[in-house]
A and B are shown apart, each in its own frame.
Chain A
């Protein structure tokens, strides 16, 4: 069965079981390796992507549920092939230790800055709560979000 998905501005016809989580399609069919498989249970946020601008766990979102909503991954945030302001802020703050959570962190933060370009520290903390970092670079991650919001 073919399902049409709009990913990073391009339409794709996906031939997969409709219960397949979006994450598997992004990584295995479309070779978008930004979103990561962390837990597959909606616990860690490594798989976070945007669906119509809102941050969501792609590991628990079957492609049957997406319809014509637009999907954006961290690759879709690039501007002319270069990191955008938020991604560059993560680089400048050296927010990545192993880096596995960072794509999800960027997407979670981007969904905040889209609706609230200058959040308070408390708003950033609250918003970033769903995403976990096992290396413990949360402090650098929060600095990166603040730098991008400045």
Chain B
């Protein structure tokens, strides 16, 4: 009898937990609308939304095929499996054509789709939640003005239990801090504008802030450096390999290059190409805010450095001279294709060789049609051993940093990333 009542109590408790869980994670669907209702006629709003969507980089993740803009399907590798971006064109069946503005606002603020399903935080709603209603409205108007493209994104490939969406509700309780930022009255209007854009739509921290074991940004380590798509997103705080001034960062964000740092390559090149749509004032505001994390503690343009490397193998020096020094010619002057004097390169001074290896393998191709820095990739021209030796040599010759361990590992990882 006693056993029986315990059993009943346990069953009731379990049912309550399950029901509570459902209630806790459940979000209602928002009624679908017809595509005609959604299309805004306000060209100014649409145009502003286009610029804001560029700052947010919507098209960078939500486009897999350049001919199908915003139609989704791009694989995003995460430590928990692969997530495929969704179709955010106004196609009724495969996109967001039936989403009302309220549904779109909720997705940006809470990470819930129109049907009420929790979205994975690869969609950076932990940042987008900072955007104002007006800005989200403009982005909605822009998206709804785009051509509807029928495209079904592949299913996500996530490990259990993360493939069970209600789990995301728990993540949100722990890590999602909803709603707008309060302006900091002790800082300038520009700084606050920069914070709004960088922490909100720009989601700079999504790459430049390290993440914890559950994939959430560490709130006490803002801009301490993270990673993105096989690249290191360098630290932008006081631990940065090279500190930024607001002027330097403005130039870098606007052109993809600064001679005291180097070129914006990899995923950062997408950011620069997106920021062409932002106003000069907004780019400067972002720069002012981000540069405030790395107050200058060294001269703006550090003196060129060139060390003797007496033990370097003759073959490696020959390859350096024949391949690298055709552009990276002088210790103190910019070469052709905006090749940096390598002693000024931030990548070459970073703790890990990841970015240097990526650039040597694949080059910098992002600005070919726009002008800007360029570098050919040396993958296949030089063997991995030759690349590793030449990278080690450049680090020894042009920086005061200790030798890298694991250049070979970085090469292997960069190749695996490229194969995916």
A positions within 8 Å CB-CB of B:
17-21, 39-43, 51, 54, 56-57, 59-65, 67, 130
Contacts and interface: CB of A to CB of B under 8 A. Distances in A.
Nearest to B317: A19
A148 B18 CA distance: 66
Nearest to B387: A65
Contacts, number: 65
Interface stretch (B178-186, B195-203, B274-282, B321-329): B321-329
A21 B381 contact: no
Nearest to A41: B336
Given A56-B380, A57-B381, A43 B322 contact: no
A7 B317 CA distance: 24
B162 interface: no
Contact of B381 (A20, A39, A51): A51
B323 A61 contact: yes
Nearest to A122: B67
B39 to A, nearest CB: 31
Contact of B323 (A17, A39, A51, A62): A62
A65 B315 CA distance: 8
A45 to B, nearest CB: 9
A18 B315 CA distance: 8
B322 A65 contact: yes
17 contacts: A18-B318, A19-B318, A21-B326, A41-B327, A41-B336, A42-B326, A42-B375, A42-B376, A43-B374, A43-B376, A51-B381, A60-B378, A61-B323, A65-B381, A65-B382, A65-B386, A130-B376
B322 A62 contact: yes
Interface of B: 314-315, 317-323, 326-327, 336-337, 363, 374-376, 378, 380-383, 386
Nearest to B322: A62
Contacts of B337: 41, 43
Nearest to B368: A129
Nearest to A22: B322
B360 to A, nearest CB: 12
B326 A65 contact: no
A63 B337 CA distance: 23
Nearest to B375: A42
A17 B374 CA distance: 27
B323 A60 contact: yes
B374 A62 contact: no
A64 B315 contact: yes
Contact of A56 (B315, B363, B374, B381): B381
A62 B380 CA distance: 13
A64 B336 contact: no
A144 B126 CA distance: 52
Given A18-B315, A19-B318, A21-B326, A60 B336 contact: no
A64 B318 contact: yes
A67 B318 CA distance: 13
B376 A60 contact: yes
B318 A60 contact: no
A65 B327 contact: no
A57 to B, nearest CB: 6
Contacts of B323: 60-62, 65
A63 B315 CA distance: 10
Contacts of A63: 322
